[in-house]
Amino acid sequence: MVKEQGFSLIELLIVVAILGILARIAYPMYTDYLIKANRVDMQSEMVRIGGLLQKYRTLNSTFLKKQDATPIDLTTVGAADQYPSGGKPLYKLTLSNVSAGTWTLTATPNENTNQAGNGSIVLNNQGQKCWTKGTSCTPSATTNWDGR
């Protein structure tokens, strides 16, 4: 008598069902992880740009252009207005409230990306920062990037 080898259809269906359950649990967790990782990358880039802005002020004693006393912009310090600059941009960067001694840098998630609706990230010249999921915020000495 020949012994048959292999899996029965029931065994295969059980394995497929278990894999489906695991995928249903794991995919949202992975998506949340990617959103947080992208936000942290953006925060790191904002700190880098903040350093470029402070370097500009150190060299020029102001955040205004020497030629015409107009506010500097991101291109003045060699920074892009989208992040990441290669591939599909996840954030739009805006430099605002620029005066001789102040600036505010805001990263707003682009629509039609996983970051959409994840809240703006804000950093100012004093190193104050804020992020609140789904809303805008104003940086102060008591706000931070962890959303609390």
Residue type, 63: F
Q: How far is CA 56 from CA 13, 52, 53, in A?
A: 64, 6, 5
What pLDDT does 134 receive? 66
pLDDT level of residue 138 (50, 70, 90 thresholds): confident
C-alpha span between 43 and 60 (Å, rounded) = 26
How do the domains of the chain map onto residue ranges? 12-131
Q: What predicted TM-score, i.e. pTM, was given to this entire model?
A: 0.82
pLDDT at 72 over 60: yes
- Over residues 107-136, the pLDDT tens digits come to 999 999 989 888 899 999 999 999 877 667
Q: Helix, strand, or coil here: 8?
A: coil
**What would the pLDDT profile of 7-53 be if each residue is shown by its tens digit?**
889 999 999 999 999 999 999 999 999 999 999 999 999 999 999 99
Whether the predicted pLDDT of 2 surpasses 90: no
Contact between 80 and 91 under an 8 Å Cβ cutoff? The reply is no
What's the order of all strands across the beta sheet hosting 91-96? Answer: 82-83, 91-96, 104-109, 121-124, 129-131
* Cα–Cα nearest to 98, from 62, 66, 141: 62
> How far is the C-alpha of 17 from the C-alpha of 59, rounded, in Å?
63
Question: Do 121 and 39 touch, CB atoms closer than 8 A?
Answer: yes
Identify the pLDDT of residue 86: 83
What's the pLDDT at 59? Answer: 93
* C-beta of residue 73 within 8 angstroms of C-beta of residue 56: no
Report the mean per-residue pLDDT for the chain. 90
What's phi and psi for 129, nearest 5 deg?
-140, 155
Helix, strand, or coil here: 53? helix
The one-character DSSP state at 132 is B
